[in-house]
């Protein structure tokens, strides 16, 4: 029997935050079964821990959504580091090998943090009307004076869409037909809609074609957004995302 752990990440309250399944010893699981297992859990991500390719590192980690493998994701990195520390397989400093390369993670007092130096990649996004349809909003709800919608990622791409008002963010709802019409790759389109108020950001992430109707919090999307806004503003940025 293969053991697994389930964590709620980005929270101190059970049954809130982001759920994550961690298989701490995935050695011996058939390649074809990895996606099937992730689909069975049906969480936004399921992680499989394997021996590291470099013996100096802590572990190799493969991340799966219900529909595909990801090269990088935020809350799975945090949750897996906590899991390995709890199993005595890592001290305060560890290095996890992800699809984007080694990621240093620090674990202390039940908390984990990591730094990624993966270069930001950008690409054109779907049209503004198409994205408005994805979010069940009017095109006028999307703000473009700071930046137009753009696809950006640090290993996992997200379409970043700035909205005009918090009321628009609250009203947003994923339109499946809109996502199907806008997506060139159905499993790839993930939309992070956000409102910026100074250094505070409210955001919601939708990826219904990837099996994630809405993610409670998305670390990899937040990292991509911070990196992109730093690029737009021309300086290093620090944001609070309550």
The answer on pLDDT for 236 being more than 90 is no
Residue 214 annotated as catalytic: no
Give the pLDDT confidence of 24-57 residue by residue, as tens digits: 999 999 999 999 999 999 999 999 999 999 999 9
CB atoms within 10 A of CB 166: 11
In the Cβ-directed half-sphere of 195, how many Cα atoms lie within 13 Å? Answer: 14
Give the model's pLDDT for residue 139. Answer: 98
Q: Which among 25, 17, 15 has a CA at the least distance from the CA of 47?
A: 25
CB atoms within 10 A of CB 26: 21
* Mean pLDDT, the chain, whole residue set: 94
CA-to-CA distance for 105 and 32, rounded, in angstroms? 29
pLDDT grade for 115, boundaries at 50, 70 and 90: confident
Give the model's pLDDT for residue 216. Answer: 87
Domain boundaries, the chain: 5-114, 121-233
CA-to-CA distance for 81 and 104, rounded, in angstroms? 10
Look at the alpha carbons of 171, 229, 120, 80 in this order and tell me if their dihedral is positive or negative.
negative
Give the model's pLDDT for residue 7. Answer: 95
What's domain 5-114's architecture? Roll (3.10)
Highest-scoring range by mean pLDDT, 10-14, 158-162, 195-199: 158-162
Give the pLDDT confidence of 130-180 residue by residue, as tens digits: 999 999 999 999 999 999 999 999 999 999 999 999 999 999 999 999 999
CA-to-CA distance for 48 and 144, rounded, in angstroms? 40
CA-to-CA distance for 88 and 149, rounded, in angstroms? 43
Write down the catalytic residue from 13, 31, 40, 45.
45
The answer on pLDDT for 206 being more than 80 is yes
Strands (E), the chain: 5-9, 18-23, 45-50, 59-64, 69-70, 93-98, 101-108, 111-114, 121-124, 150-153, 157-162, 191-197, 200-207, 212-215
What one-character DSSP code corresponds to residue 49? E
Give the pLDDT confidence of 59-78 residue by residue, as tens digits: 999 999 999 999 999 999 99
Q: Minimum mean pLDDT among 87-91, 143-147, 194-198, 202-206: which range? A: 87-91
Class of domain 121-233: alpha beta
Provide the whole-model pTM.
Answer: 0.90
H-helix segments, the chain = 31-41, 74-86, 128-134, 166-171, 176-182, 219-233
Domains 5-114 and 121-233 share a fold: yes
220 burial class (0-12, 13-18, 19+ CB within 10 angstroms)?
buried
């Amino acid at each position: 029997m293969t053991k697994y752990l389930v964590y709620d990440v980005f929270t101190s309250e059970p049954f809130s935050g982001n759920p994550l399944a961690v298989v701490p010893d995935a050695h011996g699981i058939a390649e074809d079964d990895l996606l099937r297992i992730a689909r069975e859990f049906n969480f936004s991500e399921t992680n499989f821990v394997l021996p590291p390719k470099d013996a100096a590192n802590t572990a190799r980690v493969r991340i799966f959504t219900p529909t595909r493998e990801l090269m990088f994701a935020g809350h799975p990195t945090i949750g897996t580091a906590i899991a390995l520390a709890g199993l005595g397989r890592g001290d305060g400093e560890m290095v996890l090998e992800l699809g984007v390369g080694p990621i240093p993670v620090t674990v202390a007092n039940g908390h984990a943090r990591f730094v990624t130096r993966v270069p930001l990649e950008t690409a054109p996004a779907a049209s503004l009307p198409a994205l408005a349809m994805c979010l069940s909003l009017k095109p006028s709800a999307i703000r473009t004076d700071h930046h137009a919608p753009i696809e950006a990622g640090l290993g996992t791409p997200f379409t970043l869409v700035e909205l005009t008002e918090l009321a628009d963010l609250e009203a947003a709802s994923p339109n499946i037909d809109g996502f199907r019409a806008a997506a060139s790759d159905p499993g790839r389109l993930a939309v992070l809609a956000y409102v910026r108020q100074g250094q505070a950001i409210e955001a919601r992430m939708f990826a219904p074609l990837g099996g994630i109707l809405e993610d409670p919090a998305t670390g990899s999307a937040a990292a991509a957004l911070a990196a992109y806004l730093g690029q737009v503003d021309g300086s290093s940025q620090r944001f609070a995302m309550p």
